[in-house]
Structures are given as C-alpha cells and as structure tokens.
Chains A and B, each alone.
Chain A
C-alpha cells in the first residue's frame, strides 16, 4: 500500500499534487473570469500598458461624449444662424417687392403695402431676437460668457408699441455696437466753464446763413453761423467751447438777435436752429455771442437696465463723452432742455425710450 519508500518522497508528491491543484484552480479562475489575473501582480509586465490603455480609452470616450454635446450645440447654433439668414432673405425679397411699389399716390393698396412691409420687418425683428435668445443646456447660446443673461432685449410685442418709441424721424432702432448698454460713466467736457461773451476779438467776423447744413437732418430746420478769425489770430477755432445742444444768445446784431440751439459745431461753424436770417456782420457793431457757463455736475454714471430703462434720469448734457472719449450714441432719444447753461440739461424724455439692443458679451 505504501507507494514510496520514504516520507520525503511522499511529501514531495503531496506538495506536487497541491501545486498542480493550485494551478488548476488558477486556470479555472482565468477561464471563469476570462482574465489572466485578478491582481496587477499577475500581469506585472503588461500592467502599465493595461492601465494606460484603460485610461486612454476612458478619456477618449469622454472626448467623444463631449464632442457629441458640442456638436449638438454647434448644430443648434447653425440652425439659429440659418434661421436668421432665411428671415433676413425673406425680408429682403419683401423689401425688393416693396421697392417696386409706386407710392406716388395715396391709395388703400399703397397704405396696405406700407403697413405690410412694416409688419413684416417687425416680425422679422421679433424672429431674429427670439432666435438670438435661444437657450441651450440652461444657458443662452449667443450670450458669450454671460450665459445667464439674454443677449437681446426686444420688449415690444406689437408694431404700434415699437413705433411709439422709434418714430424713424429722430429715433431709430439701434443697429450697431454703439448701442452697447453697459453702464456708462460720463464726464462733462466743459465742467466749470464760466458764462462768457464772444466778440469780434475772438471770432473776427461772423456770417449768418439760413441755408441748411447739408450734414444735418432737415428737421428741425437749421442754418449756420460761421466765424472767420482775423488774420494772425492765435485762436483759429473760436467756437471750441460752445457745446452742441447748448443754447447761445446773439445780441447787438443787425438782424439776428435771437437765442439759438446749437446742433453741431466744428470749431468755426455752428449749425443752429432756428435758422438765422442770413447776413455777414463785422465791425464795431459786431454782434456778441453769449454762451452759458459749463456744467457743475460731477461725473454721472448712467445705468442702463435690461428692461430698457435708464437709472440716472437726469444727466448733464450732450458734451459728455463716455469713457472711451466717444460721443453718446443714443442722443436721438435725449431731448435738450433749453436752459441757460453752456451744456444745457438733458433729461430722458421717456425713460423707456432708451433703446434696447445687443448687450455686452
């Protein structure tokens, strides 16, 4: 019954059996799990490769998922752009059609055509505003980083409401970056300037003209007052301190004594309303041009609200410039009160009148 002569050889056989059993178990586990090893030790030489592949695979899958989401967003943006493009194309073709309409007679058809094109344009504007306000993944797609703020504020639900603000005569719907509605800090350029009279010493000779300035809108009617400084004068632009929008008073003239509102100023020529009667006046009886004092107000910050209102209801006039040194682009909706100061006082005639439009990205 004893198959081996010594205990040692018997033990050896038993240990060999156990080793074999262990190997069998190992292979059984490999077959069952379809994996070479249940720890990294068993695949030591390939462990780095395996980990690298696994990580790369996970990251690649993540990139695929992210790209898929980004593709969705790009598709949404493309659709929006296509939508805007087709809206604009459609409006253009309507405008081309409208262009062919003979409006020389006041007929119901023509009135209807005008009304239609206005409606079409308004609807197109609404469409574009709505498209630009498309949301994607809880954020506005065209708002840049400000994904929590709608990029376009177009609060008008009817053409009448729109036209009540944008008459087309003085107030046009803004169409450019100049309508940027960020909060603007304003500083008066003529602050502290004393009321003063300009006489022939400063302006040389004055000529008055009732011919409208071709660079200004015909309404309100305007004319010009031009200075011709004397030869050798050290001030070639005597009107520098006259503020646009301010009022000047001419006295001691032959036929132009009146208070005028300045519409434009290039330093030597003032465009004013109402138009002067037109004459050139020099000499000892030279007229006196009086301009009021500069504003005393501190810099004003105008806060433009998202609903199209403005927080600072009263600011000191137009010769403010914004911090970029640019003139204010929303002047059409600001009326100048005829006050006796150089820079006048402007108030928002209607706080709702400030144009909504594109916001900062």
Chain B
C-alpha cells in the first residue's frame, strides 16, 4: 500500500511540477503583454488520515495591489486632463506663428501702425494709402482667421467629446460584461485572472476619460461611480449621450443651449467630471477657447471703437464723399412713443455740416443745431420730396423748427438735414441747393433699414461733418456729445440728477457710424446683448444696487418696451435669477433667451433675441441696474466679423487723412489734399494706451493695441508652458506608479527562470521516486516468482 501511495504522491508531484512549469511558461510568454498580471503558482499537500498523499495545485493567484491601482487610475485621469489640454494649447499656439517669423497678431497690428505713420507723412500718396488699407485688411483677416480657428477647435473639442463619450460607453459596457463573466468563473472555480486583467485594463482606460471611483463587491464584481457618487456601472452600465454639433460660432455656449450636455437619460452630468479627457474637452470648449476668443474680441472692439471715433472725424479729400451709409442700426419707432423715444440730444458742442466742391472749397455750411432750429417745411424742395414713409413714424411737425440742442427724433434729423441740402443760397439758412439729395433711414425702395443713409446724388460735391465746441463757424474742433434716448425713459438719474440716456457717444458721424474704418458685427447687428463680467454668484446688492428696478426689453419685431415694464430686478438677484426671470416671463421668454455665460473668472448675462431681430435692453426707472450690469450689444464674435469698410478696400483713397479746416481769412471751411491731421491721429491711437475691459481672464487694463495683443499671446504661452510642465511631471508620476505596480504585478523573468529550474528539479525528483518505486515493485514482484 505504502509503495502505491508513494507512486501516487510522485505522480501528483509530476503533475504539480508540470502545472507549475505551465504557469511559468504562461508568465514568461506574457512578459510583454500590456496589463498582464503575473500569476502565482500555489500548491497544497494532501494527506489522508495523517498520511501524505501527494500535492494538489490551487487555482493561480493574481498579484494586485488594489490601492496602488486606484492611485494609478486617479493619476491617469489627471494625466489625460493635462495631455488633452496640452494638445489644445499646442493648437492654439499655432495661431500665433513662430516667435521669429513676426507673423503674430501683435506684429500685424504693429505693421498697421507703421503704415499709418507712413500715411501721416505722405497722406496723399496712393502707395501709402493702399499700404495702410492693405495692412488693416491683413490684420482684420488675421483676426477673422484666428477666430475661425478657435471656433474650429471648439467644434473639434465637441466632436472629440462625442467620440470620448462613445468610447466611455464601450468601456462601461465592457466592465459590466466582464463583471458577469468574473462572477460566473469564480462561482464555478475557474481561473478568472485573465478576465480581471481585462477589466483592470478597461478601468484604466476609463480613468483616462473621466475621474471614477470603483468598489469591488464580495462576488468579485466592480461598481463604478463618478466622484460625486453617480453610478455608472452597478449591475448594468449606464449609457451616456452627447450629440456633437456640426458648426460653432463665437456666441454659441452650453448655457445658451448651443451645445448639448452629457446626458444619462435626461440628466445632464457635464459638470460631474473634474478630471479626465471629457472634463478637459468640456473646459476647452466652454472656458479656455471662449476666453481666448473673448480676449481677441475685446482687442477688436476697443480698436474698432478708437479707430472709428477718429476716422469718423476725418475726410478723404480729394476723394469726395457724396454718399454715406451709417452702420448703427436703429429700431422702428411706434408713433405712440414719438417723440420721446429714439431721440438725440446734443450734450455738448455742435456739428458743422459742410458741402464742398471738387476744389475742396466750401459750397455751403451750417450746423446741426442751426438746421434743427429752422423751419424746413417749405424750404428748398423739401415739401416736394416724398417725406420719409414708414418707421420711425414721422410726426406732422417733424420738419418745423425744433428746440435748441434737442431732443430730436431721427425723423426730425433726417428731414431737417435733407431740407437744408435742398435749400438754395438764398434760403435761410442758405444751403447748397442739391435738390436731388436724400437723407433717410429707408432704402431706395422706401423700406425701413434703420441705418442713416445720406446721398447727395451729385458726385461733384462732398459732404463732411465737423464736430466742434460751439456753433460759431471755425469753433475749435472737438467731438460733440450725442446723447441717445433709445426707450423714451427720460427720468433723471437719482444719483446725479442728470437726465439718463441709453447711450452717450462722442461724435455725430461716429454715433451713426457714417465713416467707419473698421466694421464689426457689434457695430452692425445688435441681436444679442451682454452684461459686463460679474463675479460668479454676486448679487445686484454686491454690485451696488440699492433698490428694486425694472429692466425693459425692445426689439425690432415687437417694438419698444415690450410688455411695458419688462422684468423686476431685486437687489438680492444674481445673474442666474435674473436670467430665470426673463426666461420664465410669459411674454419675454418667448422673444428672448437669457443665459449666464462664463468669461474669465466671472460670468456675463447674455440675452439673445430668438428671432434674430435688432434688440435693446434698458432700465425703466433709475440707472442702478444698468450701472451694475452695463448691458450693451455683445462683443462676442467681433474678431470673427471685423473687416475694413468694403468701399475703402475697393478704393484706398477713401481712408480718412485730413479733416475740415477753417480759414480765418475767408471765413469758410475747406478741405486740402495734404492735410494729415486725421492720419496723424489714427497713428496716435496705435501708440497711445487704450482702456480694455476685463475679458477672458485679462483684467481691466490700459495698454496699446500691440501690447494687449502681446499680452494675449504671452498669457496663452505661459498657460501652455505651465500645462506642458505639468504634463511632464504627471507623466513621471504616472510612470513611476505604473513601474511600481508592474514591478509588483508584472512578470519577472529571473524569478520565472528560477521557478522553472525548481519545477524541473521537483519533476526529476518525482520521476526518480516513480523509477525507484517501479524498481522496488519489480523487486517485490520477483520475490513471488
């Protein structure tokens, strides 16, 4: 019996050594397999009634440090966040060109500045005019291109988000499926190590997508939660959805419904993730890239405002301006509100209106206040000319003498200006007698456009507006203050006691945008209004609002002051509550969409007209809310739309260089070809500092245009560099953790080779036992022969 037992024990030893060799072989074979966890051979002695009966092999074990794995997954999430961010920064860095090539936006602005300096030196040389216009065009095209690329990156990030969400769904489903198989294998005593390896790999990949927490249940299944505790895989996997958009524009935001969230069913979980590729993509799409866009928009808006304010004061003689079309779009005015709404008051100064001939000699001259105070009802053919049909609704007495310095409605201004242009030299005030001239807010077909259009219909004459300190001819040139009451609310500001105006603009031509150099969407269309950037969560009270007041809303389709009193704003309101109140209003909610949009470290209240109509936000009583919110037509996308005025691109001679000059000898105004007053002033706007409002993380600052552009580049470069350094650090950290894990979990060839030798020895010994037992059995057998 004992000999048989020894034989059986030896056989079990042979089998055990074979299995050990098999395991070692498997470990060695998988030495380079990613995610393979070393399997550990273990065996147990068998005995029956205290007598050894050989050895039995236990199922192979996995050497896994779960805590270490959790750390690796956490760091992997961070690494993926940084890597994705770094990739996008690398792309945005490409927008600025190579440092040595001088192709950055900063260099383009400098080039424009240089060409304006040249223009100031040679104002009437076609080359310098064309160079200035060309460099301005090049700069605007670069801004357009940068903006387009930023929006393209946002589109890419949204599409990458969609693909990452699909990938995450695949991994979640994979983990759920593996969970089932592992539980089944464990229950049937099968080896589940490979399945667990696969699951660990899926979790590792998932951690790159999002920051997750995992828990292993007693049956071997793993549950996955977001860091905030939302279950992603429990018994089954959830399905995340994120339909990508097909195009992105600068005004498109998640808050405004421009992007889809990441949904489980109908729950948006976009803000559940702080780490991982998905979180990084959301941040790029909704924060980092919009911030860069906002900085470019701020640069564009400030530049356009400064340059246009100067350019509007200028003239392009010897090229005469016989027609002008304003860029500022006004809303139609219901008769009921005339003449209180959409009126203009001269806050200071007056505007000399001059007609010149081809020699630059004055043909006729008057002032805005002068013509407004004159009766134009029977002068110079005005009566014979069709009046201005359609909105803004004319009043019967619009062409009669009006009050000094206003307020005047737009209709009154167009009628008086046209009346004066028609007046002859013998009328009072004497006019140029241009009886074919038209001044209107309508197009040629009589349809309301909302833009002031002046056409002398006589190319031999040119029109020039000259803002000056007083009405007397030759008074010092200085921008007239135009106060615009858009909504008809004329109550005084409770703080200053002065009348409150919706908008105060320096310069008559500048107010109407009659002679802009740079046009942007913000100067043309006003379909979206933004507040200034406000700290997140700040209440109106925090912003200095002491009393409840009403914000009123108007648009071109629904008229001025829709619903009369708009919505109430309380001192305790935040931007979110104001937005909710607008969206929840039975009337306004159908016309406008309000959202709170992140910008830099704060947020803006954005109100969009859902029909795309020209709109306006104003305050019904007092000025507190408007002072706090500073609602104004949005500047978002200004850099995408900025362009040099098309007719100036076509004819660079139309760029303003000189201004109207007054001769004390002749007591007349004149234009001259060599005048470089405005060219000098234009050049100066590029060397003087300008006040930039806070945008995209750059605070309120006073810089030159080039320095602001350099700041944008430098800030982006610093952020990119920081992220790159973090990537390097995080890569090292993750690699070290992986190395530690691998050295514990991975296959060590030396160890396996030693094991093989051990298995070989034990196999040989067991075989010897069998040989010996066989010999002994033979001996025993011979005894019976």
State how many angstroms separate the Cβ of B29 from the closest Cβ of chain A.
11
Q: Which of A16-65 contact B (CB under 8 A)?
A: 33, 35, 37-45, 47-48, 50-52, 54-55, 58-59, 62-63, 65
In the assembled complex, the Cα of A271 lies from the Cα of B716 at a distance in Å of: 88
Contact A44 B743 (CB under 8 A): no
In the assembled complex, the Cα of A69 lies from the Cα of B125 at a distance in Å of: 13
Question: Mask for B83-121, Cβ within 8 A of A = 1, else 0?
Answer: 000000110011010111010101100110110011001
In the complex, whether A267 has a CB less than 8 A from a CB of chain B is: no
Question: Mask for A71-115, Cβ within 8 A of B = 1, else 0?
Answer: 000000000000000000000000000000000000000000000
Interface size class on chain B is 35 or more
Contact of A137 with B125 at beta-carbon distance under 8 Å, contacts A47-B99, A51-B710 already known: yes
In the assembled complex, the Cα of A204 lies from the Cα of B748 at a distance in Å of: 142
In the assembled complex, the Cα of A44 lies from the Cα of B722 at a distance in Å of: 9
In the assembled complex, the Cα of A15 lies from the Cα of B124 at a distance in Å of: 64
Residues of B within 8 A of A145 (CB): 658, 661, 672-675
Q: Which of A109-137 contact B (CB under 8 A)?
A: 137
The segment out of A2-10, A167-175, A190-198, A214-222 that lies at the interface is: A2-10
Contact B718 A9 (CB under 8 A): no
In the assembled complex, the Cα of A66 lies from the Cα of B674 at a distance in Å of: 16
Contact A48 B714 (CB under 8 A): yes
Contact B118 A139 (CB under 8 A): no
Which one of B124, B713, B735 lies within 8 Å of A139 (CB-CB)? B124
Contact of A40 with B663 at beta-carbon distance under 8 Å, contacts A8-B738, A51-B713, A54-B102 already known: no
Contact B665 A182 (CB under 8 A): yes
In the complex, whether B667 has a CB less than 8 A from a CB of chain A is: yes
The total of interchain contacts (Cβ-Cβ below 8 angstroms) comes to 173
Contact of A51 with B124 at beta-carbon distance under 8 Å, contacts A41-B93, A62-B114 already known: no
Contact of A9 with B743 at beta-carbon distance under 8 Å, contacts A37-B99, A40-B713, A139-B674 already known: yes
| Nearest opposing residue in chain B for A146, CB measure | B672
Contact A66 B750 (CB under 8 A): no
Contact of A9 with B710 at beta-carbon distance under 8 Å, contacts A182-B663, A360-B665 already known: no
State how many angstroms separate the Cβ of A298 from the closest Cβ of chain B.
9
In the complex, whether A285 has a CB less than 8 A from a CB of chain B is: no
Number of A interface residues in the complex (CB < 8 A): 52
Q: Which of B747-779 contact A (CB under 8 A)?
A: 747-751
Contact B711 A5 (CB under 8 A): no
Contact B672 A144 (CB under 8 A): yes
In the complex, whether A261 has a CB less than 8 A from a CB of chain B is: no
In the complex, whether B666 has a CB less than 8 A from a CB of chain A is: yes
Contact A2 B749 (CB under 8 A): yes
Contact A138 B718 (CB under 8 A): no
Contact B32 A47 (CB under 8 A): no
In the complex, whether B56 has a CB less than 8 A from a CB of chain A is: no
In the complex, whether A180 has a CB less than 8 A from a CB of chain B is: yes
Contact A40 B114 (CB under 8 A): no
In the assembled complex, the Cα of A51 lies from the Cα of B706 at a distance in Å of: 9
Residues of A within 8 A of B665 (CB): 180, 182, 324, 360
State how many angstroms separate the Cβ of B575 from the closest Cβ of chain A.
33
Contact A59 B110 (CB under 8 A): yes
Q: Which of B701-748 contact A (CB under 8 A)?
A: 706-707, 709-711, 713-714, 716-718, 720-722, 724, 735, 738-739, 741-743, 746-748
Q: Which of B115-137 contact A (CB under 8 A)?
A: 117-118, 121-122, 124-125
Residues of B within 8 A of A146 (CB): 360, 672-674
Which one of B124, B706, B707, B724 lies within 8 Å of A138 (CB-CB)? B124
Residues of A within 8 A of B668 (CB): 182
In the complex, whether A341 has a CB less than 8 A from a CB of chain B is: no
In the complex, whether A265 has a CB less than 8 A from a CB of chain B is: no
Question: Mask for B410-437, Cβ within 8 A of A = 1, else 0?
Answer: 0000000000000000000000000000
In the complex, whether A147 has a CB less than 8 A from a CB of chain B is: yes
In the complex, whether B252 has a CB less than 8 A from a CB of chain A is: no
State how many angstroms separate the Cβ of B617 from the closest Cβ of chain A.
37
Contact B99 A58 (CB under 8 A): no
In the assembled complex, the Cα of A324 lies from the Cα of B722 at a distance in Å of: 72
Contact of A323 with B672 at beta-carbon distance under 8 Å, contacts A35-B100, A38-B98, A41-B724 already known: no
Contact A40 B706 (CB under 8 A): no
Q: Which of A187-232 contact B (CB under 8 A)?
A: none
In the complex, whether A319 has a CB less than 8 A from a CB of chain B is: no
Contact B90 A41 (CB under 8 A): yes
Contact of A5 with B751 at beta-carbon distance under 8 Å, contacts A44-B718, A66-B121, A147-B672 already known: yes
Residues of A within 8 A of B724 (CB): 41
| Nearest opposing residue in chain B for A147, CB measure | B674
Contact A360 B739 (CB under 8 A): no
In the complex, whether B31 has a CB less than 8 A from a CB of chain A is: yes
In the assembled complex, the Cα of A48 lies from the Cα of B709 at a distance in Å of: 10
Contact A39 B32 (CB under 8 A): no
Residues of B within 8 A of A37 (CB): 99
Which one of A6, A48, A58 lies within 8 Å of B743 (CB-CB)? A6
Residues of B within 8 A of A10 (CB): 32
Contact of A50 with B114 at beta-carbon distance under 8 Å, contacts A2-B749, A44-B720, A148-B674 already known: no
Residues of A within 8 A of B360 (CB): 146
In the assembled complex, the Cα of A198 lies from the Cα of B307 at a distance in Å of: 68
| Nearest opposing residue in chain B for A177, CB measure | B665
| Nearest opposing residue in chain B for A182, CB measure | B666
In the assembled complex, the Cα of A124 lies from the Cα of B711 at a distance in Å of: 61
| Nearest opposing residue in chain B for A65, CB measure | B118
Residues of B within 8 A of A139 (CB): 124, 673-674
Which one of B104, B118, B750 lies within 8 Å of A5 (CB-CB)? B750
Contact B674 A143 (CB under 8 A): yes
Contact A12 B735 (CB under 8 A): yes
Contact A58 B114 (CB under 8 A): yes
Question: Mask for B666-693, Cβ within 8 A of A = 1, else 0?
Answer: 1110101111000000000001000000
Contact of A54 with B107 at beta-carbon distance under 8 Å, contacts A45-B718, A360-B663 already known: yes
In the complex, whether A70 has a CB less than 8 A from a CB of chain B is: yes
In the assembled complex, the Cα of A248 lies from the Cα of B706 at a distance in Å of: 76
In the complex, whether B361 has a CB less than 8 A from a CB of chain A is: yes
| 13 A-B residue pairs with CB within 8 Å | A7-B742, A47-B717, A51-B106, A51-B713, A52-B707, A54-B102, A54-B106, A54-B110, A55-B710, A58-B110, A137-B125, A182-B668, A183-B666
Interface of B toward A, CB cutoff 8 Å: 31-33, 89-90, 93-94, 96, 98-100, 102, 104, 106-107, 110-111, 113-114, 117-118, 121-122, 124-125, 318, 360-361, 658, 661, 663, 665-668, 670, 672-675, 687, 706-707, 709-711, 713-714, 716-718, 720-722, 724, 735, 738-739, 741-743, 746-751
Q: List 17 other contacts, CB 8 Å, given A40-B93, A182-B665.
A: A5-B749, A5-B751, A7-B742, A35-B100, A40-B99, A40-B104, A41-B93, A41-B724, A44-B721, A51-B709, A145-B675, A146-B673, A146-B674, A147-B674, A182-B666, A323-B667, A360-B665
Interface of A toward B, CB cutoff 8 Å: 2, 5-12, 15, 33, 35, 37-45, 47-48, 50-52, 54-55, 58-59, 62-63, 65-66, 69-70, 137-139, 143-148, 180, 182-184, 323-324, 360
